[in-house]
Amino acid sequence: MLVSVVIPTYNEEQSIKDCLESLAKQNFGDFEVIVVDDGSTDNTVTIIKSLITNHPSLITLLLQKHKGPGAARNLGVKEAGGEILVFVDADMTFDKNFLKNLIRPIDAGKIKGTFSKNEYVSNWDNVWARCWNINEGWEEGRRHPKNYPDKQKVFRAILKSEFDRVGGFTPGGYNDDWSLSGKLGYEADPAPGAIFYHSNPDTLKEIFKQSMWAGKRKYKLGIIGVIFSLIRASLPISLVTGLIKAFMKKTSRFIVFKVVYDFGLFIGISQSLVSKNWAK
């Protein structure tokens, strides 16, 4: 087996079917898909099992208690038979040549790991998804800013030997997919032509949940960083920032988005402060 695609899932019943069917249509034959469910409480596992019936030689399902995506990816790699690992999310879909183009530089022996600049927003027609881009400062229709650098901390593909050499990801929440780069001591290189699509949160509920999760990440400068982030996410600052960006982008709903997003951050940061995760 040349390639093992590892996908962590947690309550992904709305997206996992499209993700797996998109992978099944790849213009590339030598790969397997390992889905690791991280303790879903919805119909995610049932949907995956039904897709395995249609693609029994392609998809393997593993189950674990809720430990986060980093731990799920590490578990998937333990069962992987591929020389090259590919890490994707359950809310992604792919151009038919995605895998072939993503691994081409690695398979040619030129580099050890890749990412793709060709990451498009799959639900761009949704106003909240567009507000997410505004908030992140990303280019219209893409999930990254203009003039994106030629190096990236998040690997989409990596040699399994390199992954094993450093012991995989360090589980830790929002930024655990960055941990591999830190342990390896280098970043991913771009893979030309590897086109894929990734959805932004597109409901206020999803925006709140995602920002609350982001708020629980570890902060630079310890408690000082936590307090600064709390102030920045406070309602007065949130309203001012929302009004300014809503006017600049001519999108009045961004005010609502910003208040919901920053409230989620505030809750997440507060929980982080109480649990003292910032000090670890």
User: Structural domain tally of the chain?
Assistant: 2
Residues 71, 181 within the same domain: yes
Q: Are residues 156 and 96 in the same domain?
A: yes
238 shares a domain with 106: no
Q: Which two tokens stand for residue 44?
A: 């995610």
Contact 84, 1 (CB under 8 A): no
Query: pLDDT value at position 92?
Result: 97
- Tens-digit pLDDT profile for residues 179-210: 999 999 999 999 999 999 999 999 999 999 99
pLDDT digits (tens, 9 = 90+) for 11-23: 999 999 999 999 9
Task: Please report, for residues 90, 119, 170, 192, 197, the alpha-carbon distance to residue 143 in angstroms, rounded to integers and kept in the order given.
Answer: 16, 6, 24, 16, 9
**Statement to judge: residues 140 and 21 lie in one domain:** yes
Domain, as residue range, for 118: 3-198
275 has a pLDDT exceeding 80:
no
Task: Tell whether 87 and 183 lie within a shared domain.
Answer: yes
Q: What is the pLDDT of residue 163?
A: 97
My answer on whether 66 and 139 are in the same domain is yes
The H-assigned helical ranges of the chain are 16-24, 44-54, 69-78, 98-107, 127-136, 160-166, 179-184, 204-215, 223-232, 235-249, 253-275
Neighbours of 48 (CB within 10 A): 25
Domain limit, last residue, from 177, 198, 219: 198
Q: Are residues 177 and 139 in the same domain?
A: yes
Domain of 33: which CATH number? 3.90.550.10
Same domain (yes/no): 58, 40? yes
- Evaluate whether 201 touches 132 at the Cβ level (below 8 Å): yes
- Choose the final residue of a domain: 163, 198, 233: 198
Mean per-residue pLDDT of the chain: 93
| Paired sense of beta strands 157-159 and 84-87, if any | antiparallel
Average pLDDT estimate for 149-169:
96
Domain identity same for 141 and 229: no
Q: Are residues 116 and 245 in the same domain?
A: no
Rounded CA-CA distance 207/258 in Å is 10
Looking at 179, 198, 217, which one is the last position of a domain?
198
User: How far, in Å, CA of 89 to CA of 96, rounded?
Assistant: 17
Cα 92 to Cα 230: distance, rounded to the nearest angstrom: 31
Single-letter code of the amino acid located at 238: S
| pLDDT reading at 175 higher than 90 | no
Same domain, yes or no: 124 and 70: yes
Tokens 């310890």 belong to 222
Q: Does residue 208 share a domain with residue 193?
A: no
